[in-house]
Structure formats: C-alpha cells, structure tokens
Structure 1
Amino acid sequence: MPKFAMRWMAFGWILVGAAPAWTEVDFAELARTAPVERVQQTMDTFAGLGSRVAGYRGADQAAQIVQERFRAIGLDDVTVHEYDVSIPVDKGGFLQVVGSDEKVPIHGLWPNLVKTSTLPEGGMTKRLIDAGAGEYADMDSKQVEGSVALMDFNSGDAWLNAAYLGAQAIIFIEPDSTVYLEGEKKFLTMPLDLPRFWVNRQVGQHLRRQLATEGEQTLHLQYRMDWERRPAWNILGTIPGYDPLLKEDVIVLEAYYDAMSVVPALAPGAEQASGITALLELARYFRENPPARTVVFLATSAHHLGLRGVDDFIQRYLRKEEPFIEHMLVRRVVDAALARNMIAQDGIHYAIGEEEFAGKEALVRGVAEGRTEFADRVDYAALAEGMLRQSGGAIHLALE
C-alpha cells in the first residue's frame, strides 16, 4: 500500500459534500451508473444474511461477500486483516406456560452493560403479569414484585419502572413498527441484574389474551447468552492513481458491513447495509473511471463495538505515519509537563502566562503548532528536566 499522505474522509461527507454547491447533478447518468435494481439487490443480499452483529454468522458471510465483490470489481491488492471482538453470543432459550407442552423461542436483549440475560441452571419459573407500556398506571393493582413483566417494546425507558417495582424479568413484545430511539432506550450502561427478552408479536399477543381471559399464568423460562471472543475482518482494495505526481496521495473511502440491534440475534441491518452498498458502487465507478490519486476502499466490521474495525486500520497504518508519531510525542511531553505542575490547570482549562487553552486537545495543538510562548516554555522545561534530548537540530524523547 502506498505511503499515506493521509486524506481521511467520512463516507457520508463523500456522498453529501464532495461536490461544490453549484454543481448540477445529472440524475439520469447517476441512475445508469448505479442502477436501482443492482443497489436493491445488494442491500437485500446483506440484509438477508441474518444477524450481522460482528462475530455472528451473518457478519462472517458479509465479510466473504465483500471480498468476492472487491475481486469481481477488479480492485488491486485485496487484503484482509483479522482482529478480535468481544460480543454477547445468543445461545438460545425458550418460554413455556406451565401446564402447556409448547416451548416458544426467546431472544435476549443486549446485556445491561456487561450483565447478560443468562438465567440460572434450570431456568426460572415465575408469575406472568401484563405490564402494558411500562407506565406505573399500567401496573396499578398488580403484584409486580417477583413477577415476569410482559411489556410493549415501544415503551421508551419506562421498562425501568418494572425493575423499580421488583420484577424478576421482562419480556418485550415485537411491535408492528418502531423507531431508532426505542432501541436506544433499551441499552443500559449499568450492570442491572434483570434478564430481558424478546418474543415475536404473535406469541406476545397470545400471552396477553391468555392473561385477559384465563387469569394468572405461570411461565417457565430458560436462556443463555455468553460473552465470547470472535474474529472480525477489515477488507481493503485499491485503485492506483494514474497521475504520476498525485498517485502517492491516498484517499480512503470507508463503510462498515456489520449491523447492530438491541436484540443481537436479530440484526439484519437493512438500513445499515446502505453504506457498504454505496462503497461497492463507488468502487465500480472508479474502476471504470480511474482517479488521479490512489483510492483505497475499506470495508470495516465492529463499527458499533467502539469502532473496532476503524481502530484496527489506524493501528496498522496511520500510527506509522510521521504526523501521527509527532502528535503522540507532543502529547507525551504535555502529559509529563502536567505531572510536574509546569502548566496551570483549573478543571479542563489550562494556562501559562496569558495564554489559555480550553481542553487538553487545544493544549496539545498549541504545542504541536509551535507558535506560542507556551510551546517554547514546555520544550525548554522538558529539555531541562531530561524528558527530551536534542540531536542534530531534532528533538527526541529521552531514552528513545
């Protein structure tokens, strides 16, 4: 791969802001370049793989498809990098109304921080109540403590009310439709010991009818979800630039091919497949219309797991570039200066003399730009303290 004179572009910016505001878009030509039928077929392919949460089978299959498409398009130097991710793996489970022989599949929700919905050996057997949309009024006169609460998924964060009242587990009913915010409200950043499950709409409505017509029901539940280390992959392909002066510049176009859902086993990610679909279309376009600069097409995974795929790419490539190394050198000097009280600090505000910086990043930039009294003082003090050494006009970290 050519040395990065790094031009890192957010994929959405490419699609929205790359062209000047006065450029007219020829939509007929655009439709011919990326036919709707092909775009739809690609998105359907990715969305039809099952759960594409990184580490799940659908994400593994998606990685293989991206490799095949990159090679079919004719990208050069198609490369695959593997890394590990920690994910909650749905091992399966069921619910059963006591007295019935029917066992209905259930899926666990994303762990409460790190606490999964795994049940004790042998499962749990508890009373079932209809908690409606999770509002206190929906549970009025019901014995919530020690029960399993059957609840609408579209309940925002009102599901926590059942937890406050002592529910032992929650079963969410699949809605007709939902919005992104409803899913966001089901992620919890504390290790609450409250198993949460998902059942399809038909099962959920049937349980509600039973409660309404037959009275109290008792449920038996068994379920397991384990944290595991699983492999994930970045896939890269290149189109070399044709201009002899510009081809050493490298533009990276990135999109992720995995998906995310608050129910890890159910993450087909139809909308989330749009990015990787667009990346493939751009690869086709630039293969047929070679660019002046070299373009790297980067398909990443684990986007929703702390940008793990992007981080792996940066660790492998960008951190080896001189601008990045220099920035990290400056950061280490600033940290050492702060530790020695060489910089005045008040919360997130820093100052030396009349120069003030709001936030540590502004502080680091001030040193990196090297145009301030602050930068000079820190450099001199660091040299005097032996944190830096000077050799041949260049400054290096001591002991390096």
Structure 2
Amino acid sequence: MLKKTTLSILLAASLSVGATPAWAAPEANLPSDQAFDNKIVKRIKVDNIYNHIAKLSEKPRVAGTPGEDVAVEYIKSQFESYGYDTEVQPFEIYSYTTPSLIELEVDGITFEPAPLDFSYGVDGEVTAELVYAGKGAPSDFEGKDVQGKIALIERGDFSFAVKILNAANAGAAGVIIYNNATGVLNGTLGEPNDDYVPAVAITKDQGVALKERLDKGETIEATLKLEGAKTDRAISHNVVATKEATHKSTGEMILVGAHHDSVDGAPGANDDASGTATVLELARVFANAPTDTDIRFVTFGAEENGLLGSYEFVERMTEEDYERTVGMFQMDMVGSKGAGDLIMYTNDGEKNIVTDLGAAAGARLSKTGEATSYGMEGRSDHVPFAEIGLPAALFIHAPVEPWYHTPEDTLDKISKEKLKEVSNIVGAAVYQVARPDTPALENAKVAPKNVDYNFEEREL
C-alpha cells in the first residue's frame, strides 16, 4: 500500500503583489479569498449544468451498453470543445441484465414496494423455511440449522456479496437481505460468482416484520424466485481531460470527478448526470483560468457495478501521478430537490485537505458563514483513492431522495440552487489550490482556526 505524505494548504492566503489577469479582475471591497472565489463562481452558469443533465438523462447510461457509449461521446466532445486533449480509457467489465421475474411470497405479507435483485445475482427458485441470521457474519450462522433454508439478513457491516457467500457456505439455499434505513435497497454484488445463491432485497419495514414473527417463535415458509438474470462481458469507459498549469508549475495535481453511468431503467438525472454535468461546467470555467497546478477532470464508468471505473483509473495512475496529487473531489448526486443538505464524506470519517478546502470555501460562500459538515461513508468513487492513501472526499446531498435508483430520477426533480451550491464550493476550493498566488503547500497551514466544521453521523 502506498503511503501519501500529508499535504496541507493555507486557506486564508493574502493576495500576492503583482498584476491581476485582465480576464478575472477581483471584486472591490471583498476579503482577498472571496475576491479569488468570484473569479470562478461568477463564471459558473448553472443553466449549462442543467442543460448537460437534460442531455445525459435522456435515457439510462448503464455501463457497457450503447447508452453509456452515447454519454461517453457527449462528455468527450464537450471537453474537447473547451480545448482539452481528452483521453478515453476503455476497460472490461461484466454487464448485467436484470431478471425478468422477481418474486417473493410469504403468508401474511404483501411486499410493496416489490423486492429487488442484486446486480450479478443468480436465478433460482427456493421454497423453504426462513431463518434469521443477523448481519450475515460467519458467527451469525453458528449453532443455527440453515441447511436448505432461506437466510434473513440485515444490511450492514459486510458487503452484500460477503453476506450471500457466508449464507451459502453455511448451507442456505437462498437469501433475503433487508435494508437498515428507509427506502428500497438497490445493491450490487460487484462481480459474478458461481457460489452465490438466489437473493433478493426488501425494505427495512418488511424485514423487521419478518424478524418479529420469527422472534415470537413462528415458523415462516417463503418462496423466492428469480428468472432471466444474465451476466456478460462488456466494455465501459472513463473520460479524462487535463488542464495543465499556465504559470510556473508547482508540479502538483488536483482530481475532480463524477461517475457518468446509471442503473438499469433509471434516467439518472441526479445519479449521477448532476455530478458529471458539474464536472463539465467546472472544466469549462477553468479552461482559461490562470493556474500553477494541473487539474484533471474525470468521469468514471461502471460506478454502479462496484466503483470499477475509479479502480481502473487508480490502477493506471503512475507513481508520479500519485506523488503529485493534492486531493480528489468526487461529486455524486448533487442536484436533487428531494435530498437533504450537502455533506462531505470521507472513507474513514477523518478530515483531510479536501474537506478542509471544501469547508473553508463553503464558509466563505455561505450567507451565514456556516461551513459544510463532513461524515463517514464509502459507496462512491472517492473510495479507491482513499484506499491508496490519497486525500479524497465525496460531495453529496444526504439523505438521498426517495426516487434514488428508480425511473423517477428525472430532470424535473433537479434543483438549480443545489447545483449552484456544489459547483461554487468545489470550484472555489479547487481554485484555492490551483491559483498562481497560493503559497507552496509544504510551507502552508491547514484550515484557519475561525473555520469550524463538524462531523455528522448522517445516513446517506
């Protein structure tokens, strides 16, 4: 595992002496950092972001399908129209076709909303007794007879794939996983595996109702049936555009990303056409901005298949790329009317330079001076970067909207105000590093003492 030398930055830098570029004269009577912020935020056009979302969400963009190919070509053409040399990174994935039939029958329960499958799951029909198996750890099966039965498992602590494999290893013939939060559970197993047994996902309320009956000593028989699931090889893509430093280069680089794929059947206006569209608009704004730092704009494929695009990108990074990367800003689901407030999630729940920059930018730009909170969460493309030791954070509104991963994730649910909020904060935070006057990072300090931002245990 690579280890990243801790980087930091002076977030309240003074204006350096010298001429200001004519393209971006500072505003009068503003603190220095706000004046620099305005060089970026005043040029962000939220209508551009909205129009990109409209184009990208015309149909689903499932990884490895023609829908993704259309999106990749659109993103590439937009980057090139801003003057960027653009790289498309193809990589092999497993594509997945949702079952044509998903059924779960239990006496006394009507499953509404209906159960869902797990990507890369297997077909099968099982009629058997239901056995509660906690969160699906190996210890949860000890002393329990699950041979040929259906395991009822709560979401949490382990991946869906691990839960199902643990149940199969204990002899279960099927698995039902219920959510630990409100809403439907739409999950992936990451990749196919011949050792999986048929499995479906149900809501928290449905799962709790089943568990309560089992706790009372009731014997419950269930029938679980899936037909038509299919896994094939396919090609997905990342799209990469790099802005090189225009002034004396520090040799450093910032990554700004989002995933462009969506789940099957969902237009994905918010998830994640909103993040992709914001990446495109920031790329446009930064195209002619003076910088002493390289900025790499990336849209990832196959995030919904298990963060495959970002893992591929990390795998292709050179040692030089790694050593000079200041941090990674990931934007996922940044524009829904039905979602909660903005939060910055890190994989380990610890602050880093990306959250410091985001908090300081949010405080400067907010009317109240309140900084954006941070929390702990994986589940998006910041994870592979964090796992190799690079500072990374996910910018997202949480809790997510009720129509997450459904056909209702459409353009009419998009909030221009939320798009503007996130694009302003990320744009200002990135420019805090990239602008030519910023002191060298090794000689700088982290967020100023007057910018406090708090940890929130907020469910995504």
TM-score (norm 2): 0.43
Q: More helix by proportion, 1 or 2?
A: 1
Q: More strand by proportion, 1 or 2?
A: 1
The structure having more radius of gyration, on CA atoms, is: 1
TM-score (norm 1): 0.48
